[in-house]
Structure 1
Amino acid sequence: MEKKLDEEMDNINGTTRININCNHLKSMLYVVPTESNWVCENGKMHLHSLSGFLKTLVELNKPEIKDAMHQWGIYVR
């Protein structure tokens, strides 16, 4: 059964909490309003923040970041 991201998140007072869980690892991602993500309408701020964060992370061009992303199979364009 495929789940959508929206089924694993909630929004309380502008803070979006996203459950990132599987049988082996569990974490909670929090996205809060900032100067960089205010431009998006409600319900999409977390997408803007994640996209911007990943873009910034890749632009740091650090071997350790590239290695960690490769280790976990995460690639960004």
Structure 2
Amino acid sequence: MIGAEDVFDRGVLGTELAENLSQSQLTVIAEAGHTPSMERPDAFNTTLSEFLYSVPFVNRLAERGIDGGPDFAVG
């Protein structure tokens, strides 16, 4: 995830990372800069949860009622 208003690197690092990781998804968080997880936590957490639930292993855990505890950002 990158912030749409990132003035530090203009999203270049996140874009390069996404291009070099198989099965990655690049998401641009509107109205966020270099730290979208702190600037737009709800949008960040929603995007992260949606991505994690798209991973078959995580989805199977969720179906079994395993959420990973308070530090696991799903659900």
Question: What is the TM-score with the length of structure 2 in the denominator?
Answer: 0.30
Higher helix share: 2
Higher strand share: 1
Question: What is the TM-score with the length of structure 1 in the denominator?
Answer: 0.30
